[in-house]
Structure 1
């Protein structure tokens, strides 16, 4: 049984698929790098959505640029890591340019591929950062293996809530088919300064940390409010 078979047996995908087929060569050209085979299988099988209502996988067909694999977030997050690396002495699992974010949690943790070696994506491992701190968790395996281990309870990520599996392993699709494709123009990806986003969030009742990464849910809310 393959890693994808184990994942889909543990956590059944939607049927039928919620998105049209992805033109992966076009996505990889846009990103300027190859992608792991298991990620492409997961994205094609599940579509955009959330595992256990907590882990949001970035997807080429995402309904918002802030959860799009080809949107502005990977560049933005890498820039934040570079800034933190210059300001603080905490260790990173790899150089920021070798960390590519491909998922985010409701708490604001990011899941990264450690993209080494760059030309062998099926050998990439997984790293998870702390949302409001400098701790990291590493998984020496693929994304499919990571999701299967976490959603089965065989592997515990200390950064994730203890209640993650209270309702079992489940996947919830987020959008109908065809909302956004890799071939369509990307939405406006110009991001306001982080201080402006923090000020907006606090004025609208959100709790946002004074430093570090702004949670994806707040970025999504800001985007919707300022582009409507």
Structure 2
């Protein structure tokens, strides 16, 4: 339902991208949210409203969530940084554990993650933080509902961008989506 609402909001026609989700989920050691997979198959990775970056699976390209996750995990586990994490008080998800996996951000440095717990499959709360607003915000809603609210609901603070009147567009991030 929410994926459909995002499509209607942006006027986007589904791309029908084919993805080997079993391989991706095998590396992560956990299934990804079903609506995220549907969002990616419809849109691919790219930019909503010229400001919200949606990570898809475009290996090696700017909008690849798996590459973002690998880099974040590497930095989070690098001993030269000690016990400090860029996502305090959380950690970046490591296979079989509990932590954050990035799936989106904005040009204003807002960051969107899933809190994934391998012990609780099928449960994917969205954790978000807004640059300069302080602290984490937890949303027990799907990825697509969160995305829709950010794009369409000006009162969805501190993340709603509708009040900026940027339009509700989508620009694919790779040539695969064209």
Into which bin does the TM-score normalised by the smaller protein fall?
0.7 to 0.9
Number of equivalences: 170
- What residue in structure 1 maps to residue 66 of structure 2? 70
Per the alignment, residue 198 of structure 1 pairs with: none
Query: What is the rounded CA distance, in whole Å, between the counterparts of 1:153 and 1:178 in structure 2?
Result: 27
Alignment of 1:116-131 (within 5 A): 116=117, 118-121=119-122, 123-131=123-131
Name the structure with the higher strand share: 2
What is the TM-score with the length of structure 2 in the denominator?
Answer: 0.76
Which residue is equivalent to 2:96?
none
Residues 25-174 of structure 1 correspond to what in structure 2 (within 5 A)? 25-61=22-58, 64=61, 66-71=62-67, 73-78=68-73, 79-80=75-76, 86=84, 92=89, 94-97=90-93, 98-116=99-117, 118-121=119-122, 123-131=123-131, 134-153=134-153, 155-158=155-158, 164=164, 166-174=165-173
Residues 1:25 and 1:135: Cα distance change in structure 2 (over 3 Å): same
- RMSD of aligned C-alpha atoms? 3.3
The Cα shift of 1:60 comes to: 1.0
Q: Is the 8 A contact 2:103 2:112 kept in 1?
A: yes
Q: Distance in 1 between the 2:82 and 2:107 partners?
A: 22
Question: Deviation string for 1:16-61 (max 9, x for gaps)?
Answer: 62x7411111221233221110000000001121111111111112
Which has the larger Rg? 1
* Preserved CA contact (<8 Å) 2:103 2:114: yes
The CA distance in 2 between the partners of 1:113 and 1:16, in whole Å, is 24
Q: Give the secondary-structure state (helix, strand or coil) at the position aligned to 2:158.
A: coil
Q: Structure 2 unaligned runs (5+)?
A: 94-98
Instruction: Report the equivalent of 1:8.
Output: 7
CA distance in 1, matches of 2:160, 2:153: 12
Instruction: Describe the shift of the 1:84–1:5 C-alpha distance in structure 2 as closer, same or farther (beyond 3 A).
Output: farther
Change (3 A) 1:46 1:55: same
Question: In 2, distance between residues paired with 1:118 and 1:145?
Answer: 24
Q: Report the CA distance between 1:131 and its aligned residue.
A: 3.7
| TM norm structure 1 | 0.61
- Residue pair 1:111, 1:129 contacting (<8 A) in 2 also: yes
